[in-house]
Amino acid sequence: MTEQLQVPSAEFRSYYGRPILKVTHWKEPNLPAYLVLGELSGALAMVGAVAHATGRRSLARTARLGSAVAAYGGGALLAAELGRPERFLNMLRVAKPTSPMSMGSWVLAAHSGLISAAAATEVTGLLPGLGAAAGAASAMTGPALATYPGVLLANTAVPAWHSSYRELPLLFAGGGMTAAGAAGLAASALRADRADFDAARRLAIVGALVESAAGYGLEVKPGPEGEVYRSGEGARMLTAARYLTLGGGIAALAARRSRAAALVSAALLAGGGYCAKAAVLRAGKESAADPRYVVESQLRDAGSG
């Protein structure tokens, strides 16, 4: 009778304890802030296009100027993160539709140019037809700019990101709505202008719900990839994001009667958006550093392939 051998369970080790994947390093708050500003610019571009089409010129002007400022602020943070600004220009040397990095670079460049032209027209009054066309086009690049980081992260080999290809784009889409709503609440409160307040409040509340739902989806993910969203630095930041975002949504409900509540809501929502992006980045870093997450993720992908 042939003796059956018991194969011991595999131990998840790497060469001399080194991470299997290269752990990404970034400067905080540069990269999370860049992601938040990208969301804000993309969402405000859409708000500006809708406001212009419906004849709400004051809102269109504010949204387009805010979108342009956010785009250039985010671009400055990205250049600082890259270390050498010309590295971004190098990414524009080719256009590769199958590469989220390549497409994201082109979307950022195109969106910045379009929203700059629309904002310049709002300020100078020159070439209104060209400005209106650029503003309308920015409504198409805006959603892509706001959500492409989620697609880009999910396209990497980092387990916590790769397995979250459903949740991450939703998290960034909700973050864009939340950021735009927060900006609208702050602008309305500071100018004591209630004309566009209700629209900003509704956008903030819907965005807070979407962003919080996506964050909850990350926390309850089955398998080892979900562990980094339930424990560790990423989990703590995600918990902070949930309380800040939901608190900002609740404050937005009370903002109808109080300018102070509107400013508090805007601050809470902005803080929640930042913490959510920092949570995703930190969770990805933790999952890439642990060989167990990498090996189990690759084994599962090979088994389902």
Q: Give me the pLDDT at residue 170, please.
A: 95
List the structure tokens of 60: 């269109």
Nearest to 63 by CA among 115, 124, 134: 115
pLDDT beyond 70 at 183: yes
Percent of the chain with pLDDT strictly greater than 90: 47
Domain boundaries, the chain: 27-155, 157-305
pLDDT beyond 50 at 1: no
Look at 24 and 109; give whichever has higher pLDDT: 109
Cβ neighbours, 10 Å, residue 145: 29
What distance lies between CA 301 and its chain's CA centroid?
26
CB 205 within 8 Å of CB 177 = no
pLDDT beyond 60 at 80: yes
Nearest to 181 by CA among 266, 119, 246: 266
> Whole-model pTM?
0.85
Query: Using 50, 70 and 90 to split pLDDT, how confident is the model at 41?
Result: very high
In order, the DSSP letters of 101-156 are HHHHHHHHHHHHHHHHHHHHHHHH---HHHHHHHHHHHHHHHHHHHHHHHHHHHTS
Most confident of 26-40, 85-99, 122-136, 221-235: 122-136
Q: Give me the pLDDT at residue 199, please.
A: 85
CA distance 285 to 158: 8
Digit-coded pLDDT (tens) for 189-203: 887 666 678 888 899
Q: Give me the pLDDT at residue 77, please.
A: 86
CA distance 242 to 246: 6
Question: Average pLDDT for residues 167-178, to the nearest whole number?
Answer: 95
CA distance 121 to 286: 46
Digit-coded pLDDT (tens) for 86-142: 666 777 777 777 777 778 888 888 999 999 999 999 999 889 899 999 999 999 999
Q: Give me the pLDDT at residue 85, please.
A: 67
Fold of 27-155: Formate dehydrogenase/DMSO reductase fold (1.20.1630)
Mean of per-residue pLDDT scores for the chain: 85
Q: Give me the pLDDT at residue 210, please.
A: 95
Look at 234 and 24; give whichever has higher pLDDT: 234
* H helix intervals, 192-258: 197-219, 233-254
Digit-coded pLDDT (tens) for 243-298: 999 999 999 988 877 888 999 999 999 999 999 999 999 999 888 887 776 666 66
Longest dimension (CA), the chain: 92
List the structure tokens of 270: 């902005």
List the structure tokens of 252: 């937005």
CA distance 162 to 229: 13
- How much is the CA Rg of the chain, to the nearest whole Å? 21
Q: Which residue has the tokens 């790769």?
A: 162
Cβ neighbours, 10 Å, residue 246: 18
List the structure tokens of 4: 């059956």
Percent of the chain with pLDDT strictly greater than 70: 84
